[in-house]
Amino acid sequence: MYISVIIPAYNEEESIARVIDSLLNQTRVPDEILIINNNSIDKTKEIALSYQSKGVRMINEHEQGLAVARDRGFREAKGDIICRTDADSIIPSNWISAIGLFFANNPQTIALSGPISYIEPPLKYLGALPSLVYEWVVSHKLKHPVFIGPNMALRKGVFNKIKPCSHRLDIHEDIDLSQHLALIGDIRFVSGVHITTSGRRIINNPGDFAIRYSKMLHNNLLHKPTN
């Protein structure tokens, strides 16, 4: 099983090396790591290129947008399984092996996601609880599991069968992707596939985060995707 990891990155010079290092130190190292540089103006590009000798590949995506960069990575990836995480995440050493094992043991499953916890206090003291509550609420509303953006994986073949709404900025791209995939196959939320990521967007402006993300979630719930 060939496993690729996609990391969209926009001005992530402070964290990009950390996530790459955590992927290179897996018990089962991914076969491919792709950094999708999305018009960074800091040193993200230079840092990513410094890992070329270790097999890390960087691709420049000039159209701005997380979902657009994500999709570029999915198209470019060579893996049978494509994982996605964020540039400000820290990946536990068993992440790739746990994903590979789950797909090997569940051939009917086309995609999976798992819980996240946060790096920074005070959010880190809550552990994975916020993501577990979020997953329960949204999946209950939509009647199927949904992706939590920094912690997802899918079979390459299924991505070519869907048409996610990647240019819409008023919805959550990870939920939208889940909605399209749920039309064609089985998605699972796997509690044992866990990562840690930054909660900076919540901590830096909690009021704006709550309002904006609630509106986007409302739009996801109203959205009726087709492929």
Compute CA 224 distance to the chain's CA centroid, rounded to the nearest angstrom.
22
Q: Average pLDDT of 18-36?
A: 98
Position 47 scores a pLDDT of: 98
pLDDT band per the 50, 70, 90 thresholds, residue 107: very high
Q: Whole-angstrom Cα distance, residue 177 to residue 190?
A: 17
pLDDT > 90 fraction of the chain, expressed in percent and rounded? 96
> Can you give the pTM of this predicted structure?
0.95
Position 67 scores a pLDDT of: 97
- For 211, counting Cβ atoms within 10 Å of its Cβ (0-12 exposed, 13-18 middle, 19+ buried), the class is exposed
Q: Average pLDDT of 130-139?
A: 97
Position 51 scores a pLDDT of: 98
pLDDT band per the 50, 70, 90 thresholds, residue 15: very high
Position 200 scores a pLDDT of: 92
All structural domains of the chain with their residue ranges: 3-222
- For 146, counting Cβ atoms within 10 Å of its Cβ (0-12 exposed, 13-18 middle, 19+ buried), the class is buried
Q: What angle do CA 223, 164, 198 make, to 5 degrees?
A: 90
CATH architecture of 3-222: Alpha-Beta Complex (3.90)
- Residue 223's alpha-carbon distances to 56, 59, 177, in angstroms, are 36, 31, 12
Per-residue model confidence as pLDDT tens digits over 67-106 = 999 999 999 999 999 999 999 999 999 999 999 999 999 9
Position 100 scores a pLDDT of: 97
Per-residue model confidence as pLDDT tens digits over 171-193 = 999 999 999 999 999 999 999 99
